[in-house]
Structure 1
Amino acid sequence: MSVLKRVQQWATFARIWHVYDATWQNPFQSAELLKKYLMGIHKPIYHPMNDCGDHVIVINSLDIALPGNEWAKRVYFHHTGYPGGATWTLAWELHRKDPTMILKKAVYNSMDGNLQRRYTMERLHIFPDGNVPPELMGNVSNQIRQIRPMPKRLDHYTKEEVEKFPKIIDYPKDYILR
């Protein structure tokens, strides 16, 4: 086997480390995207019984965005296994307790039917902010694009950009805002 073919084969079977920024992203749509990388569906050698998935580091899970009024309506169920151990927790309460849990549960549920999802989840590393240990970030070689582009906040525009933006109305100089 030539050196080129050997490197090509090694690159095909290697586990790649990806980073994904979850800022202002829907966790359920993100879960479908991350599932492809965790299970290895994006690789040409994929087979359901073949464990060829990659590692994914998710940063900024504290800043996820649920659609509509999902923060108040979505409920997560947990049971301890003991009588009377059933609890239902609203999404905002769960997110306040553990900012990584909603995204973790979304990815876990998106892999329904995968016989190896418990072991696949071990390759998912979620962090509530951008503070990732350097030994993990040293492995990263790819970035997964966000599903939705992050809008630019109004205070991040320069004064010149704000002044050049077309106005609907020009208030008179003596106008008093209430």
Structure 2
Amino acid sequence: MNTYTVKASDIKRDWHVIDASGRVLGEVAAEAAKYLMGKHKPMFCRNLDCGDYVVIVNAKKITVTGNKLDQKMYYRHSGFPGGFRQEKLGDLLKTKPLFVIEHAVKGMIPRNTLGAQILAKLKVYEGAEHPHASQTGVVSKES
């Protein structure tokens, strides 16, 4: 009996549409990361990008639990003296809701070159409309 090894030619990619309206940020990010990495497939392989494409719609309508809107901070630095900036999650959700979801999913993906390939298959949109409607997709039933 031989061990089966997944080849890149054996990988079939599907499209998953996740509706984020009224759902918690971490749950949506975890579900998206699972589909992006391919952990839902029986032929999951850590050294290959065997995941699917994920489209997240209604990013503006995402929710968070507790006091995270006021307490959770996002930090960045320009590299110049005095260039440290911080923003609250509530402010960031009003101005850049796509960044919040992408940042949450990015934290659940491996930090290497394969992770960059995996993250490229993530598409996030503010409203319900997206340009990937012609793809044969699977609408997420998890909630």
What TM-score bracket applies, with the shorter chain setting the length?
Answer: 0.7 to 0.9
Instruction: Say if 2:48 and 2:114, in contact at 8 Å, map to a contact too.
Output: no
- Give the number of the structure with larger relative contact order, counting CA–CA contacts within 8 Å between residues 6 or more apart: 2
Q: Deviations over 1:63-113 (max 9, x none)?
A: 001101111111011122333222111001111111211111110112245
How many residue pairs end up in the alignment? Answer: 137
- Aligned with 1:30 (options 28, 31, 45): 28
Deviation at residue 61 of structure 1 after TM alignment = 0.6
The 5 Å alignment of 1:73-112 reads 73-112=71-110
Q: Percent identity of the aligned residues? A: 28
User: Which residue of structure 1 lines up, in the alignment, with residue 142 of structure 2?
Assistant: 146
The reply to whether residue 61 of structure 1 matches residue 64 of structure 2 is no
The 5 Å alignment of 1:107-118 reads 107-113=105-111, 115-118=113-116
* Superposition TM-score, scaled by structure 2 size: 0.86
CA distance in 2, matches of 1:79, 1:140: 41
Q: Higher Cα Rg: structure 1 or 2?
A: 1
Instruction: Say if 1:55 and 1:123, in contact at 8 Å, map to a contact too.
Output: yes
Please provide the CA RMSD for this pair.
2.1
User: Which residue of structure 1 lines up, in the alignment, with residue 16 of structure 2?
Assistant: 18
Which structure shows the higher helix fraction?
1
* Superposition TM-score, scaled by structure 1 size: 0.70
CA distance in 1, matches of 2:98, 2:136: 20
CA distance in 1, matches of 2:134, 2:68: 36
Structure 1 unaligned residues grouped into runs of 5+: 1-11, 148-178
Structure 2 unaligned residues grouped into runs of 5+: 1-9
